[in-house]
Amino acid sequence: MRLRDRPLRVPRRCDDPSVTAPKGLPKAVRVLLWTLWLGCLVFAVWFFVTVYLAMTEV
C-alpha cells in the first residue's frame, strides 16, 4: 500500500509554488540573462536591417 499511496502525494507537493519554482539560478540572474538575450536579438535585427538597407541603396 505504501507504493500505491506515494504517487497520490506527489501531485499535491508539485502544486506547491515553492516546489515548482526553479531552484537553479536566482531571479536577478535569470532577469539579467533574459535582458542580455533580448538585447542581442534586438541588436541582430537592427544590424541585419541596416545591412539590408545599405545593400539595397547601392
Domain-wise residue ranges, the chain: 24-58
Can you read off the three cell numbers belonging to residue 1? Answer: 500500500
Per-residue confidence band for 3, with pLDDT thresholds at 50, 70 and 90: low
Q: What pLDDT score does 24 carry? A: 81
Cα gap 43→38, rounded to integer Å? 9
**Whole-number percent of the chain with pLDDT over 70:** 59
DSSP collapsed to 3 states, 1-58: CHHHHHHHHHHHHHCCHHHHCCCCCCHHHHHHHHHHHHHHHHHHHHHHHHHHHHHHHC
- pLDDT per residue over 6-54, tens digit each? 555 555 555 555 555 556 888 999 999 999 999 999 999 999 999 999 9
